Amino acid sequence: MTSAPSIATAVVMLSCIVTAAVALNVTTLPFDEGFYHLFGNDNLVRSPDGRSARLILNRYSGSGFISNDLYDHGFFSASIKLPSDYTAGVVVAFYTSNGDIFEKTHDELDFEFLGNTRGREWRIQTNVYGNGSTSRGREERYLLPFDPTVEAHRYSILWTSNFIIFYIDDTPIREVVRSDAMGGDYPSKPMSVYATIWDGSTWATGNGKYKVNYKYAPFVSDFSDLVLRGCRVDPIQQPDSARRCAEANEALLTADFAVTTPKKRAAMRRFRERYMTYSFCYDTNRYPVTFPDCDVIPSEQSRFFEWGETKYPRERRRSRRQIRKPPRAGDQKREADV
């Protein structure tokens, strides 16, 4: 009874991936042309063709890679397949940051994938930090309309001088428009691009209630279809870089993935209505004064508690048969979140 829906779902997901690649119109690059090994010794494994990489977390270490260059704005993307089975405490991240250069005033844009206990979904969190504004975190969390452990899906960050858009496949899920009210909280300094997997037992699942269980290790995440489109800069010579990058940034603003059509905006609204589970804009317990750049929608606000969590979670439960199915040899097993 379950085989037909499973096949149909897989076909739909695969077609979505193909559609996304066409719609976004991006060019991928080999791993070594854009990135290098950051940490984790043998826990980073390049594919034989050199176009993808596997990140592994085991009881000894996580792993990660970083872009060869810093970028003055850009479009950064990767197709990511997440670990399955029990993944509580596991964090996979795809993000931009300059924290290694500006320790106290760093900028950062994140996709953080938060693991979960067996039978529950992965959560995805997006973060926007500018000029060290981690105490004023602009975080949002979501569930997904698909199982991110079955097939790879594309996750993209568009960062321009005027706005930021987070994409899942070809669907924009979040837009942050620069405003005077944001001041220095808008990311503005050159950033590198990172991908990591690590042990977030202290906070990632149930606020630290559920830890990484290394009985289920290794936890494996695959990164492919890597995209780095932006102006590479020298952090020491930023004024010269800014002048040189002006033309590249103008081209970025006119690219297909930077144009928010009515169809894209409607898709973003539907995604947020169905799958957003937390918004900093509605977290009045943490932020009694709403951020001036928040676009508070009364009908949307009514769906959230005063601590920012949704009143109506839409969790996609797995069947008991799927949960208890024994792993096949070579399978990578992990899980998802509330």
Across 184-209, average pLDDT: 96
Measuring CA to CA, which residue among 184, 194, 252 is closest to residue 65? 194
Considering the entire predicted model, what is its pTM? 0.85
Measuring CA to CA, which residue among 129, 14, 151, 152 is closest to residue 80? 152
pLDDT of residue 6: 40
Length of the chain: 338
Cβ burial of 169 (10 Å; 0-12, 13-18, 19+) is buried
Tens-place pLDDT, residues 35-51: 999 999 999 999 999 99
pLDDT at residue 315 greater than cutoff 70: no
Tens-place pLDDT, residues 96-114: 999 999 999 999 999 999 9
pLDDT of residue 1: 40
The distance of Cα 49 from the centroid of its chain, to the nearest Å, equals 25
Measuring CA to CA, which residue among 103, 169, 100, 166 is closest to residue 139? 166
Tens-place pLDDT, residues 119-143: 899 999 999 999 998 888 899 999 9
Sign of CA dihedral 242, 248, 253, 258: negative
Higher pLDDT, 47 or 330: 47
pLDDT of residue 299: 82
Phi, psi dihedral angles at 22 (to 5 degrees):
-70, -45
What is the overall mean pLDDT for the chain?
A: 86
Across 195-204, average pLDDT: 98
pLDDT at residue 235 greater than cutoff 80: no
Could you tell me the strand order of the sheet in which 63-67 lies? Answer: 35-39, 63-67, 192-199, 90-97, 108-114, 123-129, 140-142, 276-283, 307-309
Residues 192 and 98: their CA atoms lie apart, in Å, by 6
pLDDT at residue 20 greater than cutoff 60: no
Query: How confident is residue 334, by pLDDT bands cut at 50, 70 and 90?
Result: very low
pLDDT of residue 239: 65
| pLDDT > 70: percent of the chain | 84
Could you tell me the strand order of the sheet in which 70-81 lies? Answer: 44-46, 53-57, 219-233, 70-81, 153-159, 163-168, 171-177
pLDDT at residue 9 greater than cutoff 60: no
Query: How confident is residue 14, by pLDDT bands cut at 50, 70 and 90?
Result: very low
pLDDT at residue 169 greater than cutoff 70: yes
pLDDT of residue 298: 86
Across 199-203, average pLDDT: 97
Tens-place pLDDT, residues 283-303: 999 999 999 889 888 888 889
The distance of Cα 61 from the centroid of its chain, to the nearest Å, equals 21
Contact 174, 166 (CB under 8 A): yes
Higher pLDDT, 234 or 207: 207
pLDDT at residue 195 greater than cutoff 90: yes
Higher pLDDT, 152 or 241: 152
**Among the ranges given (63-72, 140-149, 254-263, 322-331), the one the predictor scored with the smallest mean pLDDT:** 322-331
pLDDT of residue 237: 67
Q: Tokens 């499973």 label which residue? A: 6
pLDDT of residue 240: 66
Give the pair of three-digit tokens for residue 137: 């975190």
pLDDT at residue 337 greater than cutoff 60: no
Q: Which amino acid is at 147?
A: D
pLDDT of residue 293: 85
> In the 8-state DSSP scheme, what is residue 250?
H
pLDDT of residue 57: 98
Region of 306 (left: φ > 0; alpha: ψ -120 to 50; beta: rest) is alpha
Q: Which residues are catalytic?
A: 108, 112
Buried b (16+ CB within 10 A) or exposed e, 105-139: ebbbbbbbbbbbbbbbbbbbbbbbbbbbbeebbbb
